[in-house]
Every structure is written in structure tokens, then in C-alpha cells.
Structure 1
């Protein structure tokens, strides 16, 4: 029987952040197609504690605790002329597992989740290679460089340049390169040279949401939020991720003052694990509450009046937006936060381009509770219809079959 090797830069359990949600559902669907062997990393002991769930899903696996400090990875990458992203995820234990699995198992397909794991695909592997880039990582670093000061401007620009070259190499090696939205696929294509573009097969495979789990009918509001006076606004996500840090700083220091000038008791709640120092410093600023990691984000979404998502750097499809919409919570988002979500503005969510626009949209919805409820219900209908995981991943079995045929024909 043909089997699958799945390489992921983070263990797909628990599905509690954007990349892990996607890799979790991708792995589950692959395991329904054929036996799957998994090589992956744990960021911390909390991740490592979920190895039992990996064991239930995978035929065999290798879970490695990633301990290389980022500054050391940066120094090693600089010395070797490599992207930091690759060096940070290079480990001989993963390489050894891949080599042994390919030697003793009938692996016909290697599925790579996140481009930095493609370094483990042997040059002489004759089977099918599918790489889920999700979004264009090199473009993120280009954006970081544009906003940074020296020396980080140079660091980010170097990473963007080297990572773009690696992405192009991987895309030409793969039978299919997956992206989370047509916008990301088009962006990646535009960054390739014509010859590279001709040799690459770019495929859009969207993001989903578990609407049975994220259902406002089965969740009660978070008591800590309900105990506070004033309308609560919320932002959820991994809070050491730079675009999220930038977004909540913007919300707390630039948007919330405009809202509180009209609604003085409005509060802003930041919910997500590993809040960076810049996020922790927002505690108490303009009604901001920083809660950090929570066991279940759904009660917090249920307890909020609005989701405020003012991302200034946005790639792919934002799970935080889909989760809020699934919970029938009205979302006020920047255009970057809504990228890749084909929702209708003013029907399924509200869009604000500037700080003033975002504040005005929030104030309008806070003043019109019936209208806010109407948008929330429309948002839930939208994700039920357009972002159900079963529908999103339905093309995957055929994609793998087509890839095998193309490889065999070659």
C-alpha cells in the first residue's frame, strides 16, 4: 500500500493557533486517504504533551523538542548563508527519521506543511511532493523590513531575499504548491521569474472552520469579561507573532481612544498565548485587558460585543476572523485582515481602512445592536457555507492522485 510522509514545522495538536489548525485538519484528511508517518517539532512542553494524539493519528512519528535559540539560529544562518527560517528548523533527528522512513516504508507522497520543512525532502526522492506554503513567508519579511530600523531592516531584508529564493526552488521541485487563497497564489506567482513560473504548479486550497465546535449556541460567555462594565471588544491570536503584536498596539493606542471618546467605558481584550512585552505593556491602556493564554477562546468570543482586527501586515486567511464570524460575533477588520475571505463588506463584516474608519465602524455597531446582530448572523451563515473543512479539503484526494499521475508520466 502507498503511504504518506507528512512534515510539519509544529505538531498539529492541539489545533489552537492558525498554522496548527490548518495542519491538524490536513493531517486528519491525509490519514483518511492512506497510512501517514509524521515528522514534526514541539515548541514547548505543552506542545510535547500532545504526543499521544499524534500517536493515535500517525502510523509512525518523530516529535522533536525544538530548543535552538533564535539568536543562535541567526548566527548559524549568517555563517552558512542560509535563511534563519531554515536553520531554526534543521535537526538531524528529523533528517534521520525521514531517511529511515523512506527506506523501510512504501512512501509514494511527501506532504510538506510550511516551506522550511522542504529541506528534508531528499533530492533523489522519486515520488510525489506536495508543499503547503499556506502563504508567502518571504513577503512578510519584506514587509517587516519596510517598517524596521537598522539593523533589523537589514536582517529582515536578508531573510526575505534568501527565503524567496528557497520558496522558488521548492515550488519548482513540488508537484503542487498549495496556497491558502487566490491572492496568496497570485502574489507568489508574481514573485517568480518567468522560467520558474512555467515549472511551478500553484494550487489554491483554502482555510476552514469547525462550525460545530465554534457554535455560539453551545457556549456561555466568559465570566471575567461579563463582570466588567462597558462594551467589550476582542482580539485573539498568538501574541508573540509580530503582525498580531503590531495590530493590538494599534488598537489599544490609536483606535480605542477614538472609541472611548464616545463610549468611555468600552474595553479591549487581548486573548492569546505568549503575549510579547509590547503586548503586556498595554495592560490598562485605554481600557485594554491582556489575558494571555486561555483554555478555550470560545467563551471569550461569546462574551464580546465586537471583534476588532486591525492588522497592518496580513497574509493568507485569518483564522481569528473566521472563528469570530463562526461565533456570530460582528467583526471590524482592516483590509489586510479580510484578505482571502470572500465575505461581503457591510453584510458579513465591517471594513475600516484607517484608524478613524475602524473606530467609526465600531461605534456604529455598538450604537446599533440590531444591526450588529444581523451582521453576526450573516457572518456565521457565510462561514458555514464557504469555509466548512469538509468542503475546503474535498479536492485533496484527487490532487494527490493527479500528482502521482503527473510524476509517473514524467
Structure 2
């Protein structure tokens, strides 16, 4: 089949969960079909990323994505006037519509695959002007997006922000329900997200779209990392421009970290991720984990190679209180052989057994106790890591799990 594959972010390098999902789906399809990738690109994308993706795909096209305060303000104003979600309006670009129209009118595509909700309308509009008969429409939604602002509203203390987030959740739910009905196939990454999305769809299970659940997977054959024998770091990893990650980091720093320091004063806290907000940057007491003193908080921002922080960590901490979908950082930690401590929401949708594959804690006291436990008992961390690697090989390897795509895209 000739597939037009649309992504909101360039799916390489693999430094975010959304990229990991899109990349391995792309790899699986491109090994069996003729795939043309169309993606938004950003100034921060390394040239090597495009070069690599061109070795995977039949063709690669990009449209620059730039954002500004003025543009964000216009999107917010449009949302207030139109009743459309701000989250979707901020990603509308005429240049993307124009490029897709040129491509689908120049040659026939058998299918258009939209990765994430932000690309759904682009796929729909392109299908309406396609050169050939209507191509198959496939949406990999990843998440039930309305759950993200809904959960963020429940966690925030700011009344004005809470009101905005509740409104955004309502608008997103309506927009998602309308959007999904246009697709032939709909993929989600967890059963929880599928159930949440199905509340927005017709009750008839035979009505379109056909629904599939397929987890985010990685390469289980990759070797685990080598950690320091007496690692004393606790690692928070993920893009800090994503509000749930920033909220979780603030909560851990404010409510949990002081409790950890009381029992393990030698511990260090690594908050690693792109675009840390000013308040998290201000909390840093050091920049380099190798020379940081006891009790240091290290906020290096985006790092191209997280290995030094991974090796120096006794555990990955996932202190999420909101969000949706599946935390790829947990699956990657299973691959790395890094012990994990997560909230219930943080490990939602991943088939882990608490106490065997990772530790789960939802209160500051419980999170602090779990962190201190792994800092003081490396053997327990090693056992969790070994169990996690076994789970990864059994359930989260892309070469095996993504055979589900053969039912949507028969050879």
C-alpha cells in the first residue's frame, strides 16, 4: 500500500513518548509498504533526524512549525469566539493543508495515517481532495485528550486556570467525538483511553471507526544501561513544557523532596527535560550531577544524552497527577533496567504489577518512603529492574506487538 503518514512532531530522535510511538509504527509500516512521511518540523530538530528518516521512508516532507506569544494569543481569542479547543487551534497551519493538497492530487494514496489528534483534520481535509477514490483514514489518537485538561483542572489550585481547563476539557470532548467518526480505524495506546474515547462515540460497536488498542513499544533487544553501584540520584525525566510533567515536578519538589532529604540527606534530585519553567530552574542548586553536593537539585534542561543521569539514579520517579495515555518513560526505564516509582496515574495503561515490576505511591509520604527504600536498598531496585526487563520482552516489543497493524494495512 502507498501510505501518507502525518505527524505533528518529527519522529526522531527518540526523546519523547510521542516520537517513540510514531517512529516504531513508521518503521513497521515502512518495512512492508511505501510510506511518505509529512511532518511539522522545528528549528531545534537536528539535520541528522531528517537524514535518518529518509532512510526509513519512501519520501519525507516537512512544514516549519513556529510559535509565538502573539500566535498563542490569537489562538486563544479564536477559541473564545468559536468554541473550538485552543489545543487544536494553536496547531493550525495553512502551509500544511497546501502541501497535503499538492501531494494527494499529484499521486494516489491508499491510506492516510494521522498520528495524534492534531493531525486528524489535516488527514480529513486531504482525503476530500485526493486524486484517487477516498483513501482509507487511520487515526492513531494515542490518548483520550479531553482527560488531560480534565485531570489538570482537578489538580490545580488556581481558580481561573481551573475554569479554563474545565472549558477546554468540554470543548475537547466534543471535538474528539466529531473527529473520530470521520475515520475508518482508530488506534489508542491503553484500554483506559479506548474506554474514555468510546463514551464519545455511537453506542453501536459496529459503527465506524473500527477500534484498536496497541501499546507504545520499544526495542526489547537493546541492552540495559550500567548504573552506578551506589547511585544516589532520583530522576524526573520528560519534557517540562508539557503541563502534567511540570505540575508533577513542582509537586514532588514541594511536597516529597523535603521528606526524602530528612531520611536520605545524601540524595540528589535530577529534573531533566526540555524547557523547564523559570520556577523549576530557580530551584536548581547545581547544574552538573558529577560535581553536585549532597542534597542538590539539578535542572539541566534538555540533554541530548541522558545516560549520565540514568547511571547516577537509584530510581526513575513518575509523580504525575494528571495526563492521559501511556508514559513511555516507564517502558523505556524497563528497557534501561532502571527501577521505577510511579503514581497510579503515572503507570496507568501499562501492565505492571506493583511491588514486582515497580513501586506505586500516591501520597507525598508514600512516595518519599519508596524513594528512600530504593536509595538504601539497591538489591531491591535490581530485582525490580530485572522483573521489568522480563515484562518488557513479553509485552512491549514493537516487532511483535505491532503485527496488529497488518489487519489495518494488509500487504
Question: TM (normalized to structure 1)?
Answer: 0.89
Name the one with the larger helix percent.
1
Q: Deviations over 1:156-203 (max 9, x none)?
A: 223222221221122211111111011111121134453698443221
Per the alignment, residue 291 of structure 2 pairs with none
1:155 counterpart = 2:164: yes
Deviation, structure 1 residue 393: 1.1
CA contact (8 A) 2:176 2:200 kept: no
Per the alignment, residue 57 of structure 2 pairs with 58
Per the alignment, residue 34 of structure 2 pairs with 35
Unaligned runs of 5+ in 1: 403-410
Aligned counterparts, 1:3-402, within 5 A: 3-46=2-45, 50-69=49-68, 70-120=72-122, 121-122=124-125, 124=128, 126-148=134-156, 149-192=158-201, 194=203, 198-213=207-222, 215-216=224-225, 219=226, 231-284=232-285, 287-401=296-410
CA contact (8 A) 2:214 2:402 kept: yes
Q: Deviations over 1:333-387 (max 9, x none)?
A: 1111111111111111111121111111222222322222111111122112211
What is the rounded CA distance, in whole Å, between the counterparts of 1:230 and 1:290 in structure 2?
18
CA contact (8 A) 2:151 2:323 kept: no
What is the rounded CA distance, in whole Å, between the counterparts of 1:310 and 1:197 in structure 2?
38
What is the rounded CA distance, in whole Å, between the counterparts of 1:113 and 1:320 in structure 2?
19
Worse-matched range after superposition: 66-75 or 252-261: 66-75
Give the 3-state SS of the residue equivalent to 2:181 in structure 1: helix
CA contact (8 A) 2:5 2:112 kept: yes
CA contact (8 A) 1:307 1:324 kept: yes
What is the rounded CA distance, in whole Å, between the counterparts of 1:25 and 1:119 in structure 2?
23
Worse-matched range after superposition: 230-239 or 151-160: 151-160
CA contact (8 A) 1:3 1:105 kept: no
What is the rounded CA distance, in whole Å, between the counterparts of 2:365 and 2:137 in structure 1?
47
Give the 3-state SS of the residue equivalent to 2:275 in structure 1: coil
Question: TM (normalized to structure 2)?
Answer: 0.88
Q: Deviations over 1:289-332 (max 9, x none)?
A: 11211121233212211112111113221111112222222111
Give the 3-state SS of the residue equivalent to 1:306 in structure 2: strand
CA-atom RMSD in angstroms: 2.4
Unaligned runs of 5+ in 2: 287-294
1:230/1:384 Cα in 2 relative to 1: closer, same or farther (>3 Å)? closer
What is the rounded CA distance, in whole Å, between the counterparts of 2:166 and 2:23 in structure 1?
31
CA contact (8 A) 2:325 2:348 kept: yes
Per the alignment, residue 290 of structure 2 pairs with none
Q: Deviations over 1:110-158 (max 9, x none)?
A: 1000112111123636121110010111111122233443433333223
What is the rounded CA distance, in whole Å, between the counterparts of 1:196 and 1:283 in structure 2?
51
1:25/1:105 Cα in 2 relative to 1: closer, same or farther (>3 Å)? same
Per the alignment, residue 407 of structure 1 pairs with none
Give the 3-state SS of the residue equivalent to 1:62 in structure 2: strand
What is the rounded CA distance, in whole Å, between the counterparts of 1:23 and 1:199 in structure 2?
23
CA contact (8 A) 2:374 2:380 kept: yes
CA contact (8 A) 1:183 1:340 kept: yes
